[in-house]
Structure 1
């Protein structure tokens, strides 16, 4: 059964316009765009049948096709990456699972996506799955520092029995206090911006109204929870790798530093 990976990318980001084309230097000093590094991450995943970039912007299309990516143009009316993925899935039908590997997550290791697909296949009641990574003290302190500085950084997740998602927030939840040893294991889970959808749930998503929680948090996955859908949180292991998403300009040096630590950050 086939797996389609979609990398949604838009130019007109409110917090960081032009983000997909921002250059990130790797360990060899070579600058590669954010969308190129996200494409490289997707191409390193095993068990995937097709990878496409989904955008509504000709600058991104031209750039992505220039490094060999397959591009599907989508409507400017898409309100988020999930709606963009739904449009692609309708055009490229016949896939068992559609993966949304967001274009701002170039540090996503291949096994995060592989474990996510495996987790969704093993949970027939789940309609969407997403990875979560237990924060060590250093990561949690970085999340808290972003919030104190007024920056919207990473997203955190809470889930119940069997990994069933309860809530996702740009605040740091659950509350744990304000000081943590860097190597401590914490009860906070960093939400990794990747999703695996069953086609039926993804097709229904654009028809649902945007609810108050999605509006307040600006988190697309909350629309599934607000419509009573089963969201599966799959815990993944860092295996010594650091993970961070590019949400703000201040994240560029942080991601470049992580890239510099490993010449092949997307390989097990």
Structure 2
């Protein structure tokens, strides 16, 4: 089954305009743009047949091409990354069997997250979409709660049933659990990793659906699938000692750079 990785990127982000072109310094102090680091993460994934950047912005297009990325131009009408992925796939001559949306704000995404995700979707023919979830340590849970208390939109959390079918995603920290947890102890909270693998048929239908009420309230594109009764498979992944965080706010730059220094990522 052929696998296409699409990296959707837009310049006009509401919370952080120009985010894809922001530089992140690695362990040695070498700076690379967020979109370059996301491209590097995608290229490290085993089993991917093709990687493209999907954007509506000429600045991102020109920068991506400067480091050798393949770019597919999309319209400014795309409301989120999933719609941009759908349009990009529709512009290609050959449709893949699985489309991976590796969002351009997650440069610390390990290759095995995506590899496990694709394997999970292949193994569950009933699932329309698959997405990774990472069990939070007590420290990560506390960081998520601190972001919310400070009024920042931080990471997204997920809850799912015994069959790993997603029940809900939220920018609040769910499920509620009284008390605290030791920094290195497991908590009951799962951090949703912003990567998706789609069946092309489900992805093609998505832009034609009206934005859902919950999607609009939470600002989470994947809720449109749940509101339409589509099955999202949550694939639990292991950190293997890697730290993970997404770049959602300007304050996240320093946090991600510190993680890169700690892990020796250049």
Shorter-chain TM-score range: over 0.9
Greater shift after overlay, 49-58 or 88-97?
Answer: 88-97
Residue 213 (structure 1) shift: 0.1
Residue 9 (structure 1) shift: 0.3
DSSP 3-state at the match of 2:163: helix
Matching residue of 1:247: 248
Greater shift after overlay, 63-72 or 171-180?
Answer: 171-180
Kindly report which structure 2 residues correspond to 1:47-86, keeping only aligned pairs within 5 A, or say none: 47-86=47-86
Aligned pair count reads 265
Matching residue of 1:108: 109
Query: 2:160–2:168: 8 Å Cα contact kept in structure 1?
Result: yes
- State the distance in 2 between where 1:105 and 1:178 align: 30
Residue 262 (structure 1) shift: 2.4
TM-score, normalised on structure 1? 0.97
CA RMSD of aligned residues (A): 0.9
Residue 242 (structure 1) shift: 0.5
Query: 2:5–2:100: 8 Å Cα contact kept in structure 1?
Result: yes
Query: 1:144–1:178: 8 Å Cα contact kept in structure 2?
Result: no
Query: 2:138–2:187: 8 Å Cα contact kept in structure 1?
Result: yes
Structure 1 runs, 4 residues or longer, greater than 2 Å off:
177-180, 262-265
- 1:68-127, CA deviations, whole angstroms, 9 ceiling, x for partnerless residues? 100000010000000000011112232010000000000000000000000000000000
DSSP 3-state at the match of 1:162: coil
- State the distance in 2 between where 1:191 and 1:228 align: 19
- State the distance in 1 between where 2:95 and 2:68 align: 24
Matching residue of 1:180: 181
Residue 264 (structure 1) shift: 4.1
